């Protein structure tokens, strides 16, 4: 049985080489091995990674089945009041949200929050992702004021952590998309520009990180896509295309040919067609 460090080293190698078709069989093989050896710590940790992979690649049924398996195991091991259980619940909530099961996602997040409040200090950085996720769910219910309050709580955790450029950029991206939902497009675009500058200042952009620690690209791709939407609304189609193309490239390099990547490429194709039409019919 490989150590957890060995497993992650091999997994990172697959991701760096973009061998997406090998990720699932590798992780499921590691889980089967861990189960046979009753190494439940590795089983749960790798299961959590596979859960993220299923969510990011749109395999929601597999993700939901796996999440039930992991949570039941953790309950059997009497881990249901631990921070690890809460972390898995946050991942399960993210799966539910991506699958359109928002109410279920919110219930998981609320339970995770109660556990975090019991076992973590108030300024723990792990609250940030949870607040962000809950904010997005409230946003989907048009509860904008409550959604904004959670983002402000998350931002307050970073007040004395200037080194957390990526986390700050993620929050700015979430705040910007909230402004878009409220049709405050100019405010949202300015926030996205700030987010982009922080991502670039982090030195961890895909293909640019010297230490191999590339940032998690979901929010970065969302920021680029949001800037594309803002440019499109201004009818600056060439700028919109440039942002959408970059967002699609980041998404493809991070998640492979996922549903999100496909939608971004559809946006690119639509703008190319629009630009071609403008060339054919100049005003």
pLDDT tens digits, 160-188? 888 888 889 999 999 999 999 999 999 99
Q: How many CA atoms within 13 Å lie on the side-chain side of 127?
A: 21
Tell me the pLDDT tens digit for each residue of 203-247.
666 554 444 444 456 789 899 999 999 999 999 999 999 999 999
Could you give the 3-state DSSP secondary structure of residue 124? coil
Q: Name the nearest CA neighbour of 137 among 169, 168, 181, 172.
A: 181
> What does the mean pLDDT of the chain come to?
89
Residues 204, 268: Cα–Cα separation, whole Å: 25
Question: Please, which residues have CB within 8 angstroms of residue 34's CB and are 6 or more apart in sequence?
Answer: 1, 40, 42, 43, 46
Is the overall model pTM greater than 0.85, yes or no? no
DSSP 125-139: THHHHHHHHHHHHHH
CA-wise closest residue to 157 among 133, 193, 192, 121 = 121
Q: How far is CA 239 from the centre of its chain?
A: 25
């Amino acid at each position: 049985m490989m150590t957890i460090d060995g497993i992650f080293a091999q997994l990172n190698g697959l991701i760096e080489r973009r061998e997406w078709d090998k990720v699932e069989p590798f992780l499921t093989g590691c889980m089967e091995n861990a189960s046979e050896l009753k190494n439940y710590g590795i089983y749960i940790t790798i299961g959590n990674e596979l859960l993220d992979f299923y969510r990011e690649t749109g395999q929601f049924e597999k993700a939901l089945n796996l999440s039930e398996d992991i949570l039941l195991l953790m309950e059997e091991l009497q881990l249901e009041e631990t921070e690890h259980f809460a972390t898995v619940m946050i991942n399960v909530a993210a799966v539910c949200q991506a699958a359109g099961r928002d109410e279920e996602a919110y219930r998981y997040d609320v339970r995770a929050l109660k556990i975090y409040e019991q076992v973590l200090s108030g300024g723990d950085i792990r609250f940030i992702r949870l607040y962000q996720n809950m904010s997005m769910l409230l946003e989907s219910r048009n509860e904008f004021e409550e959604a904004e309050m959670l983002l402000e709580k998350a931002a307050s955790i970073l007040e004395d952590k200037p080194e957390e450029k990526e986390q700050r950029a993620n929050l700015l991206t979430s705040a910007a998309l909230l402004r878009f939902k409220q049709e405050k497009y100019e405010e949202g675009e300015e926030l996205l520009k700030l987010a982009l500058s922080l991502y670039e200042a982090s030195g961890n952009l895909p293909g640019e990180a010297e230490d191999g620690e590339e940032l998690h690209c979901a929010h970065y791709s969302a920021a680029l896509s949001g800037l594309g939407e803002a440019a499109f609304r201004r009818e600056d189609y060439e700028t919109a295309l440039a942002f959408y193309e970059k967002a699609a490239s980041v998404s493809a390099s991070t998640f492979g040919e996922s549903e999100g990547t496909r939608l971004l490429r559809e946006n690119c194709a639509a703008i190319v067609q629009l630009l071609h039409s403008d060339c054919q019919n100049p005003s």
